[in-house]
Structure 1
Amino acid sequence: MSLLQLKQVEAYYGAIQALRGVTIDVNEGEIVTLIGSNGAGKSTTLKSICGQVKIRGEVWFNGKNISDQPPHVTAQSGIAHVPEGRRIFPRLTVKENLEMGAFSVKSKSLIRERIEKSFAYFPRLKERYHQVGGTMSGGEQQMLAIARGLMMGPRIILLDEPSMGLAPVIVDQIFEIIQELNESGMTILLVEQNAYQALQIAHRGYVIQTGEIILQDNAAELLKNDQVKEAYLA
């Protein structure tokens, strides 16, 4: 059953059209990846879901049309967005960053419970609990960004280039955590330039080029597709 659907979504930056009739389905419990080159429209697709850019077309979540919702309402409805470049609060501690992620959660006990749950996925954050975010490594900041996204208790998490700028060993750790999150029941829409690793863990994938979806298939089939191999796996 579809948890998230984009139906013929178009998005513009001024006179420049960034998305051209993008249609995507993400079923509950899946990892779906969206791959493409720089400027293809991957990040804009996630921003369209979250209400950060004006769109034509429709975005449906959990059976409800959310196309015109403001971003904070979308976040509260169960969609977490971890943007490209991590964008943690660099002057706040790990603890404070996590608490900011739960901005609308009133129960202090629930916040503490979710912090403890995040430590199960990211033990390093427990070690850095009182450390200022901006002084941590890139990998630790990425872990913090994902953990902060989980603090609202989302139904789906949108991950934008989680491997960007990280050492290969840290990339492997991040992808293992993404798989663990999915195995625990989290639905994930993953935007990645590292197409090989994304398709290795995804159930299905879409390829976007100049704002249009040009291919979609099971991830295993996309890994074998000659067009994908030549453009993204070489």
Structure 2
Amino acid sequence: MSLLQINRVETYYGGIQALKGIDVQVNKGEIVTLIGSNGAGKSTTLKSISGLVKVKTGNIIYNGQEISNRPAHENTFLGIAHVPEGRRIFPKLTVKENLLMGAFSVKNKAIIKERLERVFRYFPKLKERLEQKGGTMSGGEQQMLAMGRALMLGPDLLMLDEPSMGLAPIIVEQIFEIIKELNQEGITILLVEQNAFQALHIADRGYVIQNGEIKLQGNGKELISNHEVQEAYLA
């Protein structure tokens, strides 16, 4: 069953076309990854879904609703959480304050407490650092905080933009294990990642995007064994 459908979407930055009529489908319960080089349009795809950039033509359907060009904060109410590239935590706020910002739309204190405990189950270090300012944490800890903040929303769709960027290999392994666990708990994942091997290894399906166009698609194993993908992204 399709949770997210992107139909012939074109997106521009001024006069520069970033997306050139892409089609992407994410089914409920899947991990789907977008791979491609820098500037290919991966981050723009996520921003188009979340409402951070305007779609010029085409449409985006989420859970049966048209969401093209809806304000980003309205899309969060639908259950779409976006962890942007570079983490974008609030550096001057504490870990606890950052996490509570993720639950801005939740009024029920019991639900907030339950979600905090869920975040601490995945990221126990955050529980140890509740009063620490986010900006003083390591890159890996900030990535955990960014993901934890997104989980406080209680999302059905979690969009992750380069979660492994700049992290030590051991932290990368931990992050990908957590992504798999979140998916097993029922969260649908749309993953943008330059670490193509890791991404395709855990993905149900993947899309290769080049210069704003989808060039290849298939299940994770098919794309890992594809000669073009191996030469461009796995060498």
TM over 0.5: yes
Aligned to 1:7: 7
Mark the runs of 5 or more structure 1 residues left unpaired by the alignment: none
Aligned equivalents of 2:148 and 2:201: distance in 1? 22
Aligned to 1:104: 105
Aligned to 1:120: 121
Aligned equivalents of 2:131 and 2:175: distance in 1? 22
Give the Å deviation of 1:36.
0.2
Which letter does structure 2 place at the counterpart of 1:52?
L
Which letter does structure 1 place at the counterpart of 2:172?
V
Aligned to 2:82: 81
Aligned equivalents of 1:68 and 1:180: distance in 2? 31
Aligned equivalents of 2:132 and 2:207: distance in 1? 38
Residue 39 of structure 1 aligns to a residue whose secondary structure is coil
Which letter does structure 1 place at the counterpart of 2:136?
T
Aligned to 1:71: 72
Deviations 1:170-227 (A, max 9, x none): 1111001101101111100000000000001100000000000000000100000000
1:47 aligns to 2:47 (yes or no):
yes
Give the Å deviation of 1:85.
0.1
Aligned to 1:29: 29
Residue 106 of structure 1 aligns to a residue whose secondary structure is coil
Which letter does structure 2 place at the counterpart of 1:208?
I
Which letter does structure 2 place at the counterpart of 1:40?
A
The equivalences for 1:1-234 within 5 A come to: 1-55=1-55, 56-234=57-235
Residue 81 of structure 1 aligns to a residue whose secondary structure is strand
Aligned equivalents of 1:146 and 1:152: distance in 2? 10
Give the Å deviation of 1:109.
1.6
Give the Å deviation of 1:5.
0.7
Aligned equivalents of 1:158 and 1:140: distance in 2? 18
Q: What TM-score results when the alignment is normalised by the length of structure 1?
A: 0.99
Residue 4 of structure 2 aligns to a residue whose secondary structure is strand
Aligned equivalents of 2:142 and 2:53: distance in 1? 26
Aligned equivalents of 1:93 and 1:51: distance in 2? 27
Which letter does structure 2 place at the counterpart of 1:88?
I
Which letter does structure 1 place at the counterpart of 2:12?
Y
Aligned equivalents of 2:138 and 2:88: distance in 1? 13
Give the Å deviation of 1:60.
0.4
Give the Å deviation of 1:104.
1.0
The share of aligned pairs that are identical, in percent, is 70
Give the Å deviation of 1:130.
1.3
Aligned equivalents of 2:112 and 2:60: distance in 1? 29
Q: Could you tell which deviates more after superposition, 102-111 or 209-218?
A: 102-111
Q: What TM-score results when the alignment is normalised by the length of structure 2?
A: 0.99
Give the Å deviation of 1:68.
2.7
Aligned equivalents of 2:79 and 2:60: distance in 1? 14
Aligned equivalents of 1:197 and 1:160: distance in 2? 14
Stretches of 4+ aligned residues off by more than 3 angstroms = none
Aligned equivalents of 1:185 and 1:162: distance in 2? 19
Q: Could you tell which deviates more after superposition, 63-72 or 209-218?
A: 63-72
